[in-house]
């Protein structure tokens, strides 16, 4: 089990600093600092320096609850060492209890944007600052969160005809918040997650939400059940977008989603079906590469035969084979017509002599 699954009060602050792989240049580029000037390591930025100069002690329980625990343990202990050991054990128990309750509360409030105010601007700004507080858990983020509950101009009376301000969320903020929502996605809160994403899409951050949702979906490496929940949430998000934002926006998201995930339309028959008879192939396999270009071949000219009436005649006249001449050594055979005329001449000569 990783330490992030079961942190202690001593290393709880590590959960709220950026995780950086210092071995990859593109990962720490925005956190570059002249660490070599005084012999520091790059990781000291969110390591020893952070713990010593950017962290303060933070109470786990209220003073009254702390008094009850101390009073119970000191009466049950026989020595000072036993008492302090019992206090340390109770501290870890209370820390895990409160941390679990805090995590559940963050999940509920993150999926319930309307609870943060009546106007859309107040809802998004307070929701955004609350998620920043849950990420960083710093004194500064706590102050910023409650500043959003103060009126900007208390002396000004609101006019019903005034146009409400549109909340502004940056791409980085939206991406981080979508990651937070997806990380807390379970089968029980799919509907609330969809409602929260749709609520964000109804602001100027719609494109940021769609882009971040695609990136987070592609980068998800959870279990098969987690990916199944994610696909169910995507289907619900498309249906809700179709009803609230418009069919064009939902179709655009479907096209981007299928292209990003490598999902293709699988035909149900060999023939080309219509759009209604196609089904999604959710195997998440990458599209097959395009076929190689065909080799060029020389074209052979084929002469077209002219259509003619009647049987086809050969235009070329064939000559009879030449007659072979008789030689001295060869015996010639006279044709039938020549032999008959010779016999007639012989008979005619015999008759004249009679």
Element (H, E) at 7: none
Strand partners, 264: 281
Positions of the chain with pLDDT lower than 50, given as ranges: 155-164, 265-287
pLDDT digits (tens, 9 = 90+) for 46-59: 999 999 999 988 89
Q: How many domains does the chain have?
A: 4
Whether residues 39 and 6 fall in one domain = yes
176 and 244 inside one domain: yes
Whether 237 and 256 map to the same domain: the answer is yes
Q: Could you give the dihedral angle defined by the CA atoms of residues 6, 11, 16 and 21, in that order, rounded to the nearest 10 degrees? A: -90
Residue 145 lies in a domain: yes
Give residue 48's domain range.
Answer: 1-55
Q: Are residues 94 and 44 in the same domain?
A: no
pTM confidence score: 0.54
Q: Is residue 245 part of a domain?
A: yes
**Which of 39, 55, 71 is the last residue in one of the domains?**
55
Residue 274 in any domain: the answer is: no
The C-alpha atoms of residue 17 and residue 199 are separated, in whole angstroms, by 28
Kindly state whether residues 48 and 74 are assigned to the same domain.
no
Interacting residues of 287 by C-beta distance below 8 A, sequence separation 6+: 262, 264
State whether 183 and 196 are in the same domain.
Answer: yes
Give yes or no: residues 46 and 72 share one domain.
Answer: no
The pair phi, psi for residue 171, each rounded to 5°, is -60, -40
Q: Clarify whether residues 45 and 76 are in a common domain.
A: no
Sign of the CA dihedral with 257 first, then 259, 260, and 261 last: positive
- The candidate with the shortest Cα–Cα distance to 144, out of 131, 160, 159, is 131
Is 260 within the bounds of a domain?
yes
Identify whether 230 is part of a domain.
yes
Q: Show the tokens assigned to 4.
A: 């992030």
Pair (4, 64) in one structural domain: no
pLDDT, tens only, 278-308: 444 444 444 455 666 666 666 656 555 555 5
Q: How far is Cα 172 from Cα 208, in angstroms, rounded to an integer?
A: 9
- If asked whether residues 101 and 71 sit together in one domain, one would say yes
Q: What pLDDT, on the 0 to 100 scale, is given for residue 327?
A: 55
């Amino acid at each position: 089990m990783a330490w992030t699954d079961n942190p202690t009060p001593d290393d709880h602050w590590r959960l709220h600093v950026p995780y950086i792989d210092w071995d990859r240049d593109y990962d720490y580029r925005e956190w570059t600092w002249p660490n070599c000037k005084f012999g520091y390591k790059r990781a000291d930025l969110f390591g020893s320096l952070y713990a010593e100069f950017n962290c303060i002690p933070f109470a786990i329980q209220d003073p009254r609850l702390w008094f009850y625990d101390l009073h119970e343990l000191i009466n049950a202990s026989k020595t000072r060492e036993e008492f302090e050991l019992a206090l340390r054990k109770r501290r870890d128990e209370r820390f895990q209890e409160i941390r679990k309750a805090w995590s559940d509360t963050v999940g509920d409030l993150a999926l319930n944007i309307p609870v943060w105010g009546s106007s859309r601007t107040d809802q998004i700004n307070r929701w955004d600052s609350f998620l920043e507080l849950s990420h960083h858990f710093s004194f500064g983020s706590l102050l910023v969160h409650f500043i959003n509950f103060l009126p900007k101009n208390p002396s000004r009376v609101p006019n019903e005809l005034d146009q409400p301000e549109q909340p502004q969320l940056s791409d980085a903020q939206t991406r981080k918040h979508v990651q937070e929502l997806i990380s807390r996605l379970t089968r029980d809160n799919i509907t609330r997650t969809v409602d929260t994403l749709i609520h964000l899409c109804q602001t100027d951050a719609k494109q940021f939400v769609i882009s971040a949702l695609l990136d987070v979906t592609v980068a998800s490496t959870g279990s098969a059940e987690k990916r199944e929940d994610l696909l169910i949430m995507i289907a619900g998000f498309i249906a809700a977008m179709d009803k609230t934002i418009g069919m064009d926006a939902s179709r655009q998201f479907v096209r981007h989603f299928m292209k990003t995930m490598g999902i293709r339309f699988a035909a149900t028959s060999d023939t080309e079906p219509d759009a209604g008879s196609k089904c999604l192939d959710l195997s998440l396999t990458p599209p097959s590469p395009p076929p190689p270009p065909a080799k060029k071949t020389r074209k052979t000219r084929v002469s077209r035969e002219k259509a003619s009436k009647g049987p086809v005649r050969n235009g070329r006249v064939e000559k009879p084979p030449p007659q072979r001449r008789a030689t001295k050594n060869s015996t010639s055979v006279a044709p039938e017509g020549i032999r008959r005329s010779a016999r007639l001449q012989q008979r005619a000569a015999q008759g004249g002599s009679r």
